[in-house]
Structure 1
Amino acid sequence: MITGPDTPELLRAAVRNNAEWCAAVSGGGTFTADAWTSAHRTPPYYPDGVTLTPQASAGGLLAGMDTRSPGCSVKDSFAALDLAPAGFEVLFGAEWIHRPAHAPAPAASVLAWTRVADPGELAVWEAAWSGGGEGTGPFHPGLLTPEIAFLAGRSGDGRVVAGAAAHRTGAVVGLSNVFAADGTPGDEAWSGALAAVAGLWPGHAVVGYESGEDLDTALRHGFAPLGPLRVWLHTA
Structure 2
Amino acid sequence: MIENEWARAAARNNAEWCDEVCRAHGLSGEFDAGVWSSARRTPPLYPDAVSLTPEASAADLVARIDTASPGCSVKDSFACLDLEPMGFEVLFEAQWIHRPAVAAPVGHPGVGWEPLKSADSLPAWESAWNDGEGGLGLFPPELSAGDTTFLAGTSLDGRIVAGAVASRSDSVVGISNLFAVGDASGGEAAAWAGCLTEVARLWPGVPVVGYESGESLDVAVGQGFTPVGPLRIWVHTS
Q: Does the pair score TM above 0.5? A: yes
CA distance in 1, matches of 2:119, 2:3: 38
Change (3 A) 1:114 1:104: closer
- Is it true that 1:203 corresponds to 2:205 in the alignment? yes
Q: Which moved more, 1:27-36 or 1:168-177?
A: 27-36
Measured after TM superposition, the shift of residue 137 of structure 1 is 4.4
Structure 2 counterpart SS, 1:81: coil
**Which of these residues, 6, 16, 20, is aligned with residue 10 of structure 1?**
6
Deviates more, 1:134-143 or 1:122-131: 134-143
Unmatched runs of 5 consecutive residues or more in structure 2: none
Which residue is equivalent to 2:112? 112
Q: State the distance in 1 between where 2:152 and 2:74 align.
A: 29
Counting matched residue pairs gives: 231
CA-atom RMSD in angstroms: 1.2
Q: Match of 1:161? A: 161
Residue 235 of structure 1 corresponds to: 237
The alpha-carbon deviation at position 33 of structure 1 amounts to: 2.6
Name the amino acid aligned to 1:23.
D
After the TM superposition, which parts of structure 1 deviate over 2 Å for at least 4 consecutive aligned residues? 5-9, 103-106
Q: 2:20 aligns with which of 18, 24, 38?
A: 24
Aligned pairs (5 A) from 1:86-165? 86-101=86-101, 103-110=102-109, 111-145=111-145, 147-165=147-165
- Three-state SS of the structure 2 residue aligned to 1:226 is strand
d(CA) in 2 for partners of 1:108, 1:179: 14
What is the CA-CA distance between 1:25 and the residue it aligns to? Answer: 0.8
Amino acid at match of 1:7: E
The DSSP-based 3-state class of the residue aligned with 2:145 is: coil
Contact (CA 8 Å) 1:130, 1:137: kept in 2 or not? no
Letter of the structure 2 residue corresponding to residue 160 of structure 1:
I
Tell me whether 122-131 or 138-147 shows the greater mean CA deviation: 138-147
| Cα distance per residue 1:158-217 (max 9 Å; x no partner) | 000000000000120000111001233111111111111111101000000000111011
Q: Distance in 2 between matches of 1:158 and 1:134?
A: 18
- TM-score w.r.t. length of structure 1: 0.94
Distance 2:85 2:96 in 1: 26
